[in-house]
Amino acid sequence: MKIAVAGKGGAGKTTISGTIARALARSGHDVMAVDADVNPMLGISLGLGMDGTERLAGIRQELSESGAEDAIHEHTIDGLIERFGEDAPDGVRVVVASRVDMPDHGCLCCGVSADRLLREMEAGGRTVLGDLEAGIGVLTRMQTGSLDVVLVVANPTPKSIEVARRAAQTAVSREIRVLVVANRIAGEEDLAAIRSVLGEHEMAIVPEDAVIARADAEGVAPIDLDENAPGVRAIVAISERLVALPV
């Protein structure tokens, strides 16, 4: 199964991606988390800490600076995962796709597109989860049917809802299933704001949660801080919903 997470910057994509990856791994799935953001931070919400996350981004950098990139051109996708990847808690494997100082789309070593990367990594029955760059750029470059589902994360603010609307519309036009995640919901008014624009789509609701805010402030994985916090439980429930989807 191939899942991608999209939305406006700051909407909670990375927190939701990391927590879903951990939850899927805990329920026995072989999870490949792909940090497809040119500003990679998925490591934080997976539980690798700020330093571990920066190191992970550095592996990608060092490989191209050392010229090793050319040497691994012909490697299989498994070989690439082996070289670029890092183990996160619960057995999640994580890779960073793009260099911070030389942004290019997708690509581990030879400029493959993000959707091809996700497709190839699915081989061997992996569950692939891609945390995309803020905005809709990567989605607009995706081919029809290249993902099983896109989680479109929306906060109850006008700009976040507008970006989510464009992301959902883009995914639908590519025949990709959309699940809107209404995030940081503090009350009926918040939910109504999101529903009024995105009401036609399937939706999951994640409540505003002080535990998630504290995890982000401290640079730890929310699921490690308190797996029973309402926000964390709501995200874990999304992972269960994803597993139940027909592929």
Partner 1 sequence: MSPVATPVPKPALWPIDMPLQPRPRGALWIGVAGKGGAGKSVLAGTLARVLARRGHHVLAIDSDPMPGLAHSLGVEEPEMPLLMDAAEKPAKGPWRLKSGIGPMTVVRRYTTPAPDGVRMLQLGKAGTDGLNPVNGSVNAFLGTVRRMHEAQSLRDWAIVGDLPAGPRHLAAGFSPYARIYVVVVEPTSQSAMSGRRVAKIARGPLGADVIFVASKVADAQQRRRVERLLGERVECEIPDDQAVRDAERRRVAVIDAAPQSAVVDAVQGLADIIEQRGVQSS
Window 202-221: residues binding partner 1 (CB under 8 A): 213, 216-219
Determine which residue in the list 20, 41, 80, 154 makes contact with partner 1, applying CB under 8 A.
41
Beta strand ranges found along 188-229 (DSSP E): 202-207
| The length of the chain, given as a count of residues | 247
Residue 140 makes contact with partner 1 by CB under 8 A:
yes
Collapsed DSSP state (helix, strand, coil) of residue 164: helix
- What is the rounded CA–CA span in Å between residue 87 and residue 230? 27
Determine which residue in the list 83, 166, 195, 233 makes contact with partner 1, applying CB under 8 A.
166
CB of 102 to partner 1, least distance (A): 6
Q: Which stretch binds partner 1 (CB under 8 A): 64-72, 120-128, 164-172, 225-233?
A: 164-172
Residue 101 makes contact with partner 1 by CB under 8 A:
yes
Are the C-beta atoms of residues 6 and 136 closer than 8 Å to each other?
yes
> Residue 129's closest CA among 19, 206, 235, 247?
19
Q: How many residues bind partner 1 (CB under 8 A)?
A: 40
Burial degree of 70 (CB within 10 A; 0-12, 13-18, 19+): exposed
Residue 54 makes contact with partner 1 by CB under 8 A:
yes
C-alpha neighbours within 13 Å on the C-beta side of residue 119: 13
Window 6-35: residues binding partner 1 (CB under 8 A): 8-11, 14
Binding site for partner 1 (CB under 8 A): 8-11, 14, 37-39, 41, 44, 50, 53-54, 100-103, 133-137, 140-141, 155, 157-160, 162-163, 166, 169-170, 173, 213, 216-219
